[in-house]
Amino acid sequence: MKKRVMMGGLILAAQILGAAGAVAGPWEDGMAAYNRGDYVPAIRLFRPLAEQGNAKAQNVLGVMYRRGQGVARSSVRAFVWFSRAAARGDATAKAELHEVSQTMTGEELAQARGMTEACEASNYRSCEY
């Protein structure tokens, strides 16, 4: 009897741990959508992570704005997200920020810096993107 109960408990534990290991989070779901080319669902998954300070999600949003994937192409908005990720130490975002900056006019850079400051000051509450 003890053996039967113990085996049942082990099977139940394996099922619970297996199910928990198989559940993907928003990052994984966002990357799966992105890799499939389903950019709108990817944006919806990455944006809350980015707003919470996830540098990887911020960088991906920057890439998506730069390429126009699921959103209108915008170097200004790409700059905003790359800036946030770079400020959190994301090396890829730093390189992307440098590259996108080289393609922008002085007016676009000023607009992007202003948007970045407004976003930071409001803790992302006044960001429209």
Domain ranges of the chain: 26-121
- pLDDT score of 2: 55
- pLDDT score of 13: 43
Distance of CA 57 to the CA centre of its chain: 2
Give the pLDDT mean for 75-102: 96
pLDDT tens profile 4-56: 544 444 444 444 444 444 568 999 999 999 999 999 999 999 999 998 889 99
Flag whether pLDDT at 118 surpasses 90. Answer: no
Fold of 26-121: 1.25.40
As a whole number of angstroms, the distance between CA 61 and CA 70 comes to 10
> Model pTM?
0.78
Flag whether pLDDT at 76 surpasses 90. Answer: yes
40: its two tokens? 């709108």
Instruction: Report the percent of the chain where pLDDT is more than 90.
Output: 67
Sequence-ordered list of residues with C-beta below 8 angstroms from that of 47, at least 6 positions apart, any chain: 57, 61
Q: Between 125 and 17, name the one with better pLDDT.
A: 125
Flag whether pLDDT at 71 surpasses 80. Answer: yes
**Cα–Cα distance list, 90 to 10, 17, 76, 100, 101 (Å):** 42, 32, 19, 15, 16
As a whole number of angstroms, the distance between CA 67 and CA 16 comes to 41
Q: What does the DSSP assignment read for 49-97?
A: HHHTT-HHHHHHHHHHHHHTSSS---HHHHHHHHHHHHHTT-HHHHHHH
- pLDDT score of 128: 64
